[in-house]
Structure 1
């Protein structure tokens, strides 16, 4: 055991084992940044200047946009490190700041996506009862509280480097190091597993409710199903694969299979890069959650000949509620779906 531990101590786990793989991943990250920055800037513009999110009960959606900007801001640094053959910055402040922002984005995205799904669940399955989520999402103070609650779960990333230089079995553990690493791994897994279980439950209940309704009552249910399914897709592509890879990586490290670890690390890092597509997929959730946002986005950025075609694909007939979209001196009212 001592011999194995001494071998572990001499290995620099932050250097890449396959420069070609990480060169490719760096270009994937650059592509995500190139697409994600203008997309999220345009979404931010719509939410603030055209859609007026604070008037349309879309504060939670706006917070997802803020979380996505945290992620987009980190991508150039990640690409730079991968192109230079390292998995993280050698500067401790830079490394910890980057990890903090990535973990904060991850936690915030999950928290607000789950809240949206729960809102649809209560609107459909428990129709007529008081929907506490609907009450909460009208208050900006609740969004601030969610961000503050995420901080205690994110701060452990600043205590020790999470990405490549820590792990149980990597070194001789002290009680302090062991507790810190264990807590961080628990947070990493529970913030994915528990929300995903909630998502699956909400989806099953909403689909069952849809089957029991008559044809004339199915429009709202179909919209709710699409909202929850869009969140499930985001989870299945962006969060679940890297979570499974992290579990496999921990097992390999505990077993001290160094050759296998070199391969699993590359898979884990690749799936983490895949998780960054979160900033590209979230706008789909916005469109399913609120047709007013979709109509505002189409009106602002799509050519005229495409606008009528795209606006035909609402998930149901518009509700009586309207939202005002401004464009210079011209204003128009757009139909809003249940928000």
Structure 2
């Protein structure tokens, strides 16, 4: 029989709170510094230096905005854990922090998927469906992604994720109040928000790699474009395989164990909880890895940086 009341988190892992306190603040601090600096700089390059907008630059601008929005919430998360996991803000603030996390994560996943599909058509079918691959259509798709993810994640703005415990209010720990709604949302988000996009990206890049490896690069420019495309493929696959996919799998296992009242050993439960913490840090740090895609994936991004550096050196 399903148990809708989850067991106490500390019964599974006595030191999980201390582990979070020692893990999240330093990772979030580094992520905030790097992620904020990198994404602000990339937005400056895309919006200020790019005279001609492309489909890829439109997607990358939206990805940078999503990452920047999330990293701007990290100082409050750092403060929360630094104060010993005590919420000094209204419960609505806790809900907003949850919403910001998942809004960024799933927007990033869908923007990466869209970027991969565009790369597939640009390399495998450069002339096919060309009339549909316009800046206007890509912009509409980006807006649709924002609206879709924003609406689907909106229940997190309503669901109270904070909990009163030992005369303090705990936030950022929804499994303490796991219910059928949260559990069902997770079961939907696993395939729709992670597995299906990952399969689409994998299929696209299999055909892209096949095309790149079987075609002849006669000029240095073609060789350079091939290397950039392969580098982009590697970066996207690494992001998914090390960040998004492990987090979704472990989160699903952990929530299922709580929702169904698992009787697994404390060692197993503690391992799962610590793994969720580590993979969530990886999801957050993804905001620092996305700018690598701009460097390797955006047309003339490196040229813009070089020209800017040359102008700066001439002015010295």
TM-score between both structures, scaled by the size of structure 1: 0.75
- Per the TM alignment, residue 95 of structure 1 is displaced from its structure 2 partner at its CA by 0.8
- Per the TM alignment, residue 36 of structure 1 is displaced from its structure 2 partner at its CA by 1.6
Highest relative contact order (Cα 8 Å, sep 6+), 1 or 2?
2
Q: 1:71 to 1:65 in 2, by over 3 A?
A: same
Q: 1:39 to 1:144 in 2, by over 3 A?
A: same
Alignment partner, residue 199 of structure 1:
201
Superposition pairs for residues 232-243 of structure 1, below 5 Å?
232-243=237-248
Give SS of 2:133's match: helix
Q: In the alignment, is the contact (CA less than 8 A) between 2:183 and 2:256 conserved in 1?
A: no
Q: 1:250 to 1:5 in 2, by over 3 A?
A: closer
* CA-to-aligned-CA distance 1:121-172 (integer Å, 9 cap, x gap): 11222233114762256653442222112222211222325652347xx77x
Give SS of 2:127's match: coil
* CA-to-aligned-CA distance 1:95-124 (integer Å, 9 cap, x gap): 110111111111111111111110111122
Alignment partner, residue 280 of structure 2:
272
Q: For the residues of structure 2 that align with 1:125 and 1:7, how far apart are their CA atoms? A: 49
Q: 1:54 to 1:210 in 2, by over 3 A?
A: closer
- Per the TM alignment, residue 205 of structure 1 is displaced from its structure 2 partner at its CA by 1.2
Alignment partner, residue 212 of structure 1:
214
Alignment partner, residue 293 of structure 1:
301
Matched, 1:35 2:34: yes
Q: For the residues of structure 2 that align with 1:89 and 1:122, how far apart are their CA atoms? A: 50
Q: In the alignment, is the contact (CA less than 8 A) between 1:58 and 1:137 conserved in 2?
A: no
Q: For the residues of structure 1 that align with 2:247 and 2:53, how far apart are their CA atoms? A: 34
Alignment partner, residue 188 of structure 2:
186
Alignment partner, residue 86 of structure 1:
85
Number of residues of Structure 1 aligned to a counterpart in Structure 2? 299
Q: 1:83 to 1:49 in 2, by over 3 A?
A: same
Alignment partner, residue 128 of structure 2:
129
More displaced 10-residue stretch of structure 1: 246-255 or 118-127: 246-255
Matched, 1:149 2:141: no
Q: For the residues of structure 1 that align with 2:88 and 2:254, how far apart are their CA atoms? A: 21
Q: For the residues of structure 2 that align with 1:56 and 1:39, how far apart are their CA atoms? A: 21
Q: For the residues of structure 1 that align with 2:212 and 2:54, how far apart are their CA atoms? A: 30
TM-score between both structures, scaled by the size of structure 2: 0.79
Deviation above 6 Å: which 4+ runs of structure 1?
4-7, 9-13, 87-90, 302-305
* CA-to-aligned-CA distance 1:235-255 (integer Å, 9 cap, x gap): 223212212221331343231
Q: 1:35 to 1:222 in 2, by over 3 A?
A: closer
Q: 1:244 to 1:154 in 2, by over 3 A?
A: same
Matched, 1:229 2:234: yes
Q: For the residues of structure 2 that align with 1:95 and 1:53, how far apart are their CA atoms? A: 41
- Per the TM alignment, residue 210 of structure 1 is displaced from its structure 2 partner at its CA by 2.5
- Unmatched 5+ stretches in structure 1: 172-176, 306-326, 329-339
Q: In the alignment, is the contact (CA less than 8 A) between 1:43 and 1:65 conserved in 2?
A: yes
Q: 1:6 to 1:205 in 2, by over 3 A?
A: closer
- Unmatched 5+ stretches in structure 2: 162-171
Q: 1:204 to 1:23 in 2, by over 3 A?
A: same
1:164 aligns with one of 151, 169, 173: 173
Q: In the alignment, is the contact (CA less than 8 A) between 1:40 and 1:68 conserved in 2?
A: yes
Q: For the residues of structure 2 that align with 1:73 and 1:89, how far apart are their CA atoms? A: 18
